[in-house]
Structure 1
Amino acid sequence: MRAVSPPLLLSLLLPLLWSGAAAAAQAQAAAPQRDIVVASSDAGANAEPAPYAPIQQEELYLEAMRALAADQPERANALLLRFLEGEPRHAGAWLDLAFSQCTLGHGAEAERLFREIETRFKPPPAIQELIDQHRARGCNTKPSWRPLWAVSLGRGYDNNINQGASSNQFFIGSGSTQTQWELDPEFWPKPDHLTTAGVDYLQQLDETGSLLIAQLRMRQNDNVHTQDTGSLLLGYERPWQWGGWRGYGTVAVSALQLERQLYQRQEQLQVRATPPLDLPENLQWSLLASVSHVRYPTRTKYDSNTLELGTNLYWRGAQQVSFSLSGLSDQGQNGRLGGDRHGWYSSLQLTQPLPYNLKGELGWTRQVWQSSEVYSENIIDIVRRQNMRQLRAAIQMPLGTHQSLQLEWRAVRNQENIPLFQYNSHAIQLNWRWDNF
C-alpha cells in the first residue's frame, strides 16, 4: 500500500547492479571511518570477528531494504549502521546509507558518503548516474509522507441478498411436543442487484512507519433495502521490534449501519509478530493475537468479547500464497442465546499472474462455531454448531497506471445443525478501482 519512489526502488536492485564492483572493492577498500560506523580499526588478519553471524547480517540488510521501500528512512539508517559494523566493505549498503541520509535531510552527510563511495569503490556508470541524480535533485529539508487514497465502485448481483433460509420449514419444541412451522416469505431467499462504493485512506505519521488507516464502505440494493449497509473503520498501526522479533500493533474502531440504523460497534486490539527464524527469503511466518469487543445497540444480550490466537504463512514468488489458521473464543452477555462459544477460522488465498497482464485470485475460507448451551430451551432444544464456507475467484485487469477492473465471483454455504439458520448464496460483481492518485 505504500508508494516506492524510483530511487528507493533502484536501491533494492543494488546487490545485482553492483555485485562486480563490490567484489573488486573488497580486496582494496579500507574500513569505514569511525564517525560513519563503529568498526575495528585493524583491517588485517588480527581484526576482531564481526559481531553478527552471517545470517543475522543478511537479515539486517534485508530489513533495512524493507524499511527503505516502506518509506522509513530513519529506521533504515539505524539498521544500515548496524549492518556496516560487521560488513564495512559492502558497497551497496554504503550507497543505501547515503540515500537514507539524503531522505532524512542530512545533505552534508549524504554528500560526504557519496564522495567516499566514489573514492573507495569506483562505482560503475549506472551507479554513478544514480548518485548524480540524487545530487541534482537535492536532499529533503525534512521528511514528508504523501497520503495514499483508493476509490472503488462496483455493480453486482446476489441470489440471496438477505441470507434467507435454505428451507421454508422449521420445527419448534422437541419430542412429542415438536411442531412444524412454515417461514414467512419475508425470510425466504431474495435475489437482488446491488451497487457498492468504497474509500481507503492511508497516512504515514513518522519515521518509524506508524500509519493512520481509514476505510469507508457502502452497499445499496435495488429492492431489498432492509439489507443496505454502510461501515466505517479507523485504525492506528505501529511497527515494533524486540530483540530478533518484529511485527505490528494495531488499534481499530469500527461501526456498521444496517437499514440506516447503527447495528454494530466494535473495538479491536491486534498484535502480529514475526519470530527470528532462518526461513527461505520468500517465506514469512507470523503469529497473531487479537481481542475485540462488539456491541449491538438495537439488540439485547448480543454484546460479546472475542479472543483470537492464530498463525499465518505467506509465500511470495511468481505466485503469492497465504494460509492462516486461528482459534476463537467468544464470551457473550449473560442470557445470550446459545451462551458462550468457541471455534476456529482458516483461510487460503492464492494470487497468480495470467496472460495479457491479467492477475487471478482464488480464496477459500471456513469458520466454525460451537455453542456451549442449548440455543433456546423448549423452543430450539439444540446446541448450535455453525459451519460456514466461502469460495471466491476473481480476475483483475489493469487500466493504465492507477486504475483496474476486477470481476469477482463468490459462493457461500452456511451449513448449521439448526435448519432455520442454514443458507446458500452466489454472487458476481464487477469492480472498478482507482488508487495512488
Structure 2
Amino acid sequence: MNRLLRIAVLATALSSCLSHAQQNPQDHQEELYRAALRALSDGKLEEASAMLQRVVDQQPRHAGAWLDLAISQCELGKSAEAERLFVRLEQGFSLPSGIVETIARYRATGCGKPAARRDAWLVVATRGRDDNVNQGARDPRFSIGTGSTLTEYELDPDFLPKADGFSQLAASWLKPLGNSGTNAIVQAYSRWHEHERTHDTASVLGAVEHTWTAGGWRLRGTAVLGYVTLDRTLYQRQQQVQARLAPPLKLAPGAEFALYANASRVIYPTRPAYDSNTVELGGIAGYRSKRSLTQATLTRLQDDSSKSRPGGDRKGWFGSLQWYGEVNERLTLEAGLTRQHWRSERIYSPRLIETRRLQNTTTVRAAGQWQLRPYQSVVLEWRGTFNRENISLFQYNSRALQLSLRWDNF
C-alpha cells in the first residue's frame, strides 16, 4: 500500500496544479477527499473507491480524485474500468509528466499487478557561510576548581568562534528491491572550508528499509551503517536500527500518528572513551492538508557510555516541529524548530569541573525552494544553533546561510 500512498500524494499535487480549472469545492467535499486518501493509505480500496466516486460526482474537475479512483480500480483488478478512467483523465486534463509516466507504468504492468518502482536520485551542490564553524565557546572566560582552588582563565583564540565560507556536495540514491516494500539507500556528503580545513567533514551511509502492513497496522523498519570523517581522519562509525509503527487509529482526515523507536551505537576510533549506545522512544504526529504538512516529534533519550566518558551516562529528550508548504507550482517553503536536552548522571570532572553537565540545544531553520525547471531547483536556507549549558566551555552559537542547487531524479 506504500505505492498507493505515493500515488495519492502525487494526485494531490496534480489537483493543486490544476486548481484553476476547479469549481470552488465545499469544505465537506475536501474532507471527503482526504478521508478517501486515508482509506487508500490503510489499504481499504473498496471504501476509498466509493468515497472517490462521490467526490468526482460532486466535483467533476477534481483531477486528483479522478486519478486516485483510476488507480484504486486498477489495484482491485478492474482493468476495463481503470482504463476508462485513465482515458477520461487524459482527455479532460493537461497532465504533468509524472502523472503520465505513472499511468503508463500501470498500463504496462497490468491492473492487479504491482507497478514497477523506479530508482530515486538527489544531488545537491551548496555554497554557504557559517559564523562559527568550529563551535567556539560563546564566553572567552572559564573557571576550573572549587572553593579556594577556583581559578579563572581566558580561552586561547583557537577555541573562540571562527567564521568561514564553505562548499558542500551531497548525493543520495534509493533503489527499490523488487515490489515487496524493500528499499536500499545510499547517501554521501562532503563539506570543505575556505580556511578552517581541520573542520572539513565527510560521511557515507548505507541503509536497508522494509515496510510491513497487516490489519491496518503499518511498520517501517530501517537498518543503517555509516562512517564520518573529520579533517580526513575517521571520526565515527555509526550503527542504527529504527522502527516506525502506525496503528490503525480513527483520526481526523489528514491527521497522522506513529510510534517511533531508534537504537544506535556510535564508535569513536580516536576517542574510545566517548563511545556510546543511545535508545530513543517516542511518537510522531502530523497533519497533511492539500498544500502543506505539519509534523511534531517528541522522544525520550537514554545514552549509555563507557565509564571513562566525562559525566558518564546521560538522559534527556528531543522535540521538533516542522512545517512544509507549497505556495504555488514552483515555490515551496519550510520552517523547523528542534530542542534537545541532556543531563549527565555524574560530575563532569572531579576537582576541576564539579558539576553535572546540563545541555540544551535549540536549532531554528527556514528555507525556500524554487523550481527552475523539471528536476532542478534552487534552495536558500538559514539555520541557527544555540547551545546553552551550565559549563561555559561548551556554550556556543552558530548561524549559517547557504544557497544550493539540487537535481531530483535527473
TM range (shorter): 0.7 to 0.9
Q: TM-score, normalised by structure 2?
A: 0.79
* Cα distance in 2, alignment partners of residues 288 and 295 from structure 1: 23
CA contact (8 A) 1:308 1:328 kept: yes
Structure 1 237/137 Cα, relative in aligned 2: closer, same or farther at 3 Å?
closer
Distance 1:137 1:285, change over 3 A: closer
Aligned match of 1:126: 88
What SS does structure 1 have at the residue aligned with 2:371? strand
Amino acid at match of 1:348: L
Q: How does 1:25-424 map to 2 (within 5 A)?
A: 62=37, 65-66=40-41, 80=45, 83=46, 96=71, 99-100=74-75, 113-115=78-80, 126=88, 139-140=108-109, 144-317=116-289, 318-354=291-327, 357-424=330-397
Distance between the aligned counterparts of 1:124 and 1:435, measured in 2? 26
Distance 1:243 1:94 in 2: 22
Residue segments in structure 2 that go unaligned for 5+ positions in a row: 16-32, 55-65, 93-99
Given the superposition, is the C-alpha separation of residues 98 and 157 from structure 1 closer, same or farther in structure 2, using an over 3 Å criterion? Answer: same
Residues 399 and 178 of structure 1: CA distance in aligned 2, closer, same or farther (over 3 Å): same
State the Cα distance separating 1:353 from its structure 2 match. 3.3
User: What letter matches 2:215 in structure 1?
Assistant: G
Contact 2:73–2:82 (Cα < 8 Å) also in 1 = no
CA distance in 2, matches of 1:232, 1:195: 17
The verdict on how the C-alpha distance between 1:234 and 1:416 changes in structure 2, with shifts beyond 3 A counting, is same
Distance 1:63 1:393, change over 3 A: closer
Contact persistence 1:160–1:191 (CA under 8 A): yes
Give identity over the alignment, percent.
Answer: 39
Per-residue deviation, 1:348: 0.7
Alpha-carbon deviations, 1:289-339, whole Å to 9, x = none? 111111000103111110000111111113321111110000001121101
Alpha-carbon distance in structure 1 between the residues aligned to 2:342 and 2:307: 18
Distance 1:94 1:156, change over 3 A: closer
- Which 4+ stretches in 1 moved above 6 angstroms? 1-6, 58-61, 90-94, 122-125, 127-130, 133-137
Equivalent residue of 2:274, what SS?
Answer: coil
Cα distance change, pair 305–192 in 1 and its aligned pair in 2 (3 A): same
Rounded Cα–Cα distance in structure 2 between residues aligned with 1:180 and 1:191: 26
Query: Given the superposition, is the C-alpha separation of residues 283 and 178 from structure 1 closer, same or farther in structure 2, using an over 3 Å criterion?
Result: same
Q: Which runs of 5+ in 1 are unaligned?
A: 14-57, 68-75, 102-109
- In structure 2, relative to structure 1, the CA distance for the partners of 1:385 and 1:115 (3 Å cut) is closer
How many Å separate the matches in 1 of 2:236 and 2:264?
12
Q: CA deviation digits over 1:144-193, x for unaligned, max 9?
A: 33211111000000111100001111111111111112212111110000
What is the letter of the counterpart of residue 406 of structure 1?
A: V
Relative to structure 1, is the Cα distance of residues 66 and 129 closer, same or farther in structure 2, using a 3 angstrom cutoff?
Answer: farther
Separation in structure 2 between the aligned mates of residue 117 and residue 192 of structure 1, nearest angstrom:
57
Letter in 1 for 2:254: N
Question: Counterpart of 1:99 in structure 2: which amino acid?
Answer: C
Note closer, same or farther for the CA distance 1:114–1:418 as it changes in structure 2 (3 Å cut).
closer
When the two chains are superposed, the root-mean-square deviation of aligned CA atoms in Å is: 3.6
Is the CA contact 2:34–2:254 (under 8 Å) kept in the aligned structure 1?
no
In structure 2, what is the Cα distance between the partners aligned to 1:123 and 1:374? 68
Structure 2 CA distance for aligned equivalents of residues 136 and 231 of structure 1: 35
- 1:278 aligned counterpart, secondary structure: coil
Q: In structure 2, give the amino acid aligned to 1:341.
A: R
Pair 117,388 (structure 1): closer, same or farther in 2 beyond 3 Å: closer
Secondary structure at the counterpart of residue 242 of structure 2: strand
Change (3 A) 1:184 1:214: same
Secondary structure of residue in 1 paired with 2:198: helix
| 1:267-295 CA-partner distances (Å, limit 9, x unpaired) | 11111011111112211011101111110
> CA distance change for structure 1 residues 326 and 192 in 2, over 3 Å: closer, same or farther?
same
The TM-score, its normalising length taken from structure 1, stands at: 0.74
Q: 1-side partners of 2:407 and 2:348: how far apart?
A: 46
Conserved 8 A contact 1:170-1:419: yes
The equivalent residue for 1:428 is: 401
The one-letter amino acid paired with 2:123 is: V
Q: Which moved more, 1:155-164 or 1:318-327?
A: 318-327
The one-letter amino acid paired with 1:126 is R
**SS, match of residue 139 in structure 1:** helix
Amino acid at match of 2:266: V
Amino acid at match of 1:338: G
What is the aligned partner in structure 2 of residue 21 from structure 1?
none
Does structure 2 conserve the Cα–Cα contact (< 8 Å) formed by 1:95 and 1:114? no
Q: In the aligned structure 1, how far is the partner of 2:115 from the partner of 2:333? A: 37
